[in-house]
Amino acid sequence: MHNSLPIFELKQVSQKFGQFRALANVNLKIYPGERVGLVGSSGAGKSTLIRLLNGTLLPTQGEVWCLGRNLSKLSPHRLRQVQRRIGTVYQQFNLVNNLRVIHNVNAGHLGRWSFVKAAVSLVFPLEVETAAKALTQVGIPEKLYAPTDKLSGGQQQRVALARVLVQNPEVILADEPISNLDPQLSREMMDLLRDISDIGSKTLIISLHALEFARNYCDRLVGLRQGKIVFDIPTADLSPKMIEALYRTETPESTVSPSLIKHIEKYSSSRWGERLSSSVNGNRK
């Protein structure tokens, strides 16, 4: 089906934190240009998977291959070289709040700049035009010299995206990029991510607990539940049964987060009937 080599390949990956297994026997291939949604409730292992993909975490078992390299076998220097080609946007934006926007955007160069160049740029900003262009792309060109902590949450997430644009990676990973944004800003951010991946033919992998957004923006959905892949499908094949499998609670003490209930209730009031909400709510007692 795919002519090219995968950008990412996970082979029998498990990730333990102490005794706790956050991911179990995950096998996954992601190809160039794909737009993949990682979905599942809180604690399913989405962030852990994103961290394995960008090499900020190495698997306790199995292999993570990225751009043709087994990340566990790389020297720190080679690992950084691979990491330059992967851009990540986080839920918490990960910006330095007491710096002006331009410095946060220019942090996208840090994988390439020497320490001295980076230090000089903090006093006399370098590559101002590149930063300005990236901010124009994300719709806030006027914020170039604004103090980052004076921006709204939606604007800060745009800065985080501009930083990734400056980095110009082949792959963009986004870990719940909209969970701190209201619905309107969420749509704008998802539109931006889609446009950026379209324009640059970049691979996009987004973790989302909002299934609705994943359905609207991703071509492929990987469902995670308690550290395991429960489905890996073209988005069009998503069925109510799969959603049940994703969110059903099996142990009495486990709960479904209120936001998920809201999403599922939204579905249940639509063409999929009440089945979902009763199966989820019925298990919550």
Ligand X SMILES: Nc1ncnc2c1ncn2[C@@H]1O[C@H](COP(=O)(O)OP(=O)(O)O)[C@@H](O)[C@H]1O
- Provide the binding-site residues for ligand X, judged by CB under 6 A: 17, 20, 22, 40, 42-48
Taking the C-alpha atoms of residue 132 and residue 102, their distance in angstroms, rounded to an integer, is: 8
User: Binding of Mg ion at residue 121 (CB under 5 A)?
Assistant: no
Cα–Cα distance measured from residue 119 to residue 112, given in angstroms and rounded to the nearest whole number: 13
Question: 103 touches which of ligand X, Mg ion, none (CB within 5 to 8 A by kind)?
Answer: none
Residue closer to ligand X (CB basis): 43 or 240: 43
Q: Which residue has the tokens 């331009």?
A: 102
Closest approach of Mg ion to the CB of residue 227, in Å: 13
Burial (CB count within 10 angstroms: exposed 0-12, middle 13-18, buried 19+), residue 263: buried
Query: Whole-number minimum distance, CB 157 to ligand X, in Å?
Result: 17
* Alpha-carbon span 44 to 161, nearest angstrom: 25
Q: Give whichever of 100 and 225 is closer to ligand X, judged by the CB atom.
A: 225
Rounded to a whole number of angstroms, the minimum distance from the CB of residue 44 to ligand X is 4
- Tell me the C-alpha distance between 52 and 56, whole Å: 6
Determine the size of the site formed for Mg ion (CB under 5 A).
2
Which one, 103 or 225, has the nearer CB to ligand X? 225
Which stretch in 46-54, 60-68, 73-81, 219-227 sits in contact with Mg ion by CB under 5 A? 46-54
User: In the complex, what is the shortest distance from the CB of residue 241 to ligand X, in angstroms, rounded to a whole number?
Assistant: 21
Rounded to the nearest angstrom, the gap between the alpha carbon of residue 104 and the centroid of all alpha carbons in its chain is 19
Burial (0-12, 13-18, 19+ Cβ within 10 Å), 113 = middle
42: exposed, middle or buried (Cβ count in 10 Å: 0-12, 13-18, 19+): middle
83 touching Mg ion, by CB under 5 A: no
Stretch that binds Mg ion, among 38-46, 68-76, 181-189, 221-229 (CB under 5 A): 38-46
Contact criterion met (CB below 8 Å) for 108 and 161 = no
Q: How many helices (H) and strands (E) does the chain have?
A: 11, 10
The partner in contact with residue 268, picked from ligand X, Mg ion, none with C-beta cut-offs of 5 to 8 angstroms by kind, is: none
42/81 with CB nearer ligand X: 42
CB 40 to ligand X: min, Å? 6
> Per CB under 5 A, does 47 bind Mg ion?
yes
Tally the residues of the chain: 285
Q: Binds 45, which of Mg ion, ligand X, none (CB < 5 to 8 A, cut-off by type)?
A: ligand X
Write down the least CB distance from residue 48 to Mg ion, Å. Answer: 8
Helix (H) or strand (E) holding 8: strand 8-17
Q: Which is nearer to Mg ion, 143 or 263 (CB)?
A: 263
The contact set with Mg ion (CB under 5 A) reads 46-47
